[in-house]
Structure 1
Amino acid sequence: MPTHPSAPVVLVLASGRGERFAASGGAVHKLRAPLGGATVLEHTLAAVRASGLPWHLEDVGHPGMGDSIAAAVRATAHAPGWLVLPGDLPLIRPDTLRTIAAALADCAVAMPVHQGERGHPVGFAAACLSSLMALTGEQGAASVVRKQAQQGRVRQVEVDDEGTVTDIDTVQDLERAAQLLAARG
């Protein structure tokens, strides 16, 4: 993991059970599903590595998304911020990760928006540390975003990256991601 003391840490969340993917007919865990010569998670990690940002993989089983985020933030509590990136976003582009990281310079929360749809990663500045470490359950960090939005400290960043909104929850999502990946060349 590269060390950039002033850069936020990308938190790759890979703790989920992938139940919707299995229910849709998936034969393996969604993060291990093959996609264009690699697994879903390998694609996500390749983009994170290519971004040059420091990163942390949170792949210990946790009861919910909030628990996973809290554990990952605790493990990287020294960081000046975090980009919360679910491991099932294999089409995310490295430049988008850098864009969201840079956006944290003047806000508490930065989130990508692609064609009107909010996506990931959601960036959080160090001011959100205690709120992120207190998360539990399935809800993720939505409560932290709402709290910061009430204070006018959330910035939406328009991005031209379908990878921010292309998560893999079903076999059909995987097929769509494969088509998009093929179209990228």
Structure 2
Amino acid sequence: MKVVALVLAAGRSVRFGGDKRRATLADGRSLLVHSVERACSVFGDVRVVLREGERAEDLGLPAGCRVIASPQAALGMGHSLAAGTASLIDSDAQAVAILLGDMPWIARATFGQLISAAGASAIVLPQHDGRQGHPVLFGRDFWAALSRLTGDEGARSVVRAHSANCIRLDVEDPGVLQDVDRPDAVYR
């Protein structure tokens, strides 16, 4: 199953108090670089959604990832998801993994589990300890709906509208729940 990765990294980091994408983790890499490099180690096609005018080299991103501009990122995650999904027009993948740029601790094996469950007409949602996490994988059948999203709800409306297509996959990886919203979370 060919799956493309879409890393959402165009948010404003309001709760963090600054640009958390540049926050340095214990290994010396920035939060965003760590998250993107992890994605690049698993997926052959990685696209990173940034704010309009930002470039990969400005954030130290690997050369292999493709930057997608989200001109309306300030209006919410739905706009970034729509911009990223619209970029998939040239992809022959059967599913897209929606990754968040502030979740660097997802295990490679977990990505493999999710990819194994993916399909063109499936929505794969990881769960750990009974809580839904990320990334969520959307089959190609749902890309048109994702490309029409607006606001700050993300893809919840697509998941709700297609609940019969959802596969809830239990994983042993707490990384699917661990994001960085505050500076102290960087030092976990």
TM-score tier (shorter): 0.7 to 0.9
Structure 2 unaligned spans of 5+ = 53-72
Cross-structure match for 1:96:
110
Cross-structure match for 1:121:
135
Q: Is 1:11–1:84's contact at 8 Å kept on the other side of the alignment?
A: yes
Q: Is 1:84–1:121's contact at 8 Å kept on the other side of the alignment?
A: yes
Cross-structure match for 1:47:
38
Cross-structure match for 2:29:
38
Residue deviations 1:69-95 (CA, integer Å, cap 9, x gap) = 110111113332211111000111222
Q: Percent identity?
A: 33
| SS of residue paired to 1:51 | coil
Structure 1 unaligned spans of 5+ = 1-5, 23-27, 180-185
| SS of residue paired to 1:20 | coil
1:66 is aligned to 2:57: no
| SS of residue paired to 2:41 | helix
Cross-structure match for 1:166:
178
State which of 71, 76, 79 in structure 1 corresponds to 2:88. 76
Q: Is 2:5–2:43's contact at 8 Å kept on the other side of the alignment?
A: no
Partners of 2:44 and 2:37 in 1: CA distance: 12
| Aligned-residue RMSD, C-alpha | 1.5
Q: Is 1:70–1:135's contact at 8 Å kept on the other side of the alignment?
A: yes
Partners of 2:95 and 2:170 in 1: CA distance: 20
Residue 16 of structure 1 aligns with an amino acid whose one-letter code is G
| Runs of 4+ residues over 6 Å off in structure 1 | none
Q: Is 2:118–2:139's contact at 8 Å kept on the other side of the alignment?
A: yes
Q: TM-score, normalised by structure 1?
A: 0.83
Higher helix share: 1
Partners of 1:52 and 1:65 in 2: CA distance: 22
Partners of 1:95 and 1:73 in 2: CA distance: 25
Q: Residues 115-154 of structure 1: matches in 2 within 5 Å?
A: 115-149=129-163, 152-154=164-166
Residue 181 of structure 2 aligns with an amino acid whose one-letter code is D
| SS of residue paired to 2:162 | helix
Residue deviations 1:123-159 (CA, integer Å, cap 9, x gap) = 000110111011011000000000110xx11011111
The size of the alignment, in residue pairs, is 164
Cross-structure match for 1:19:
14
Q: TM-score, normalised by structure 2?
A: 0.82
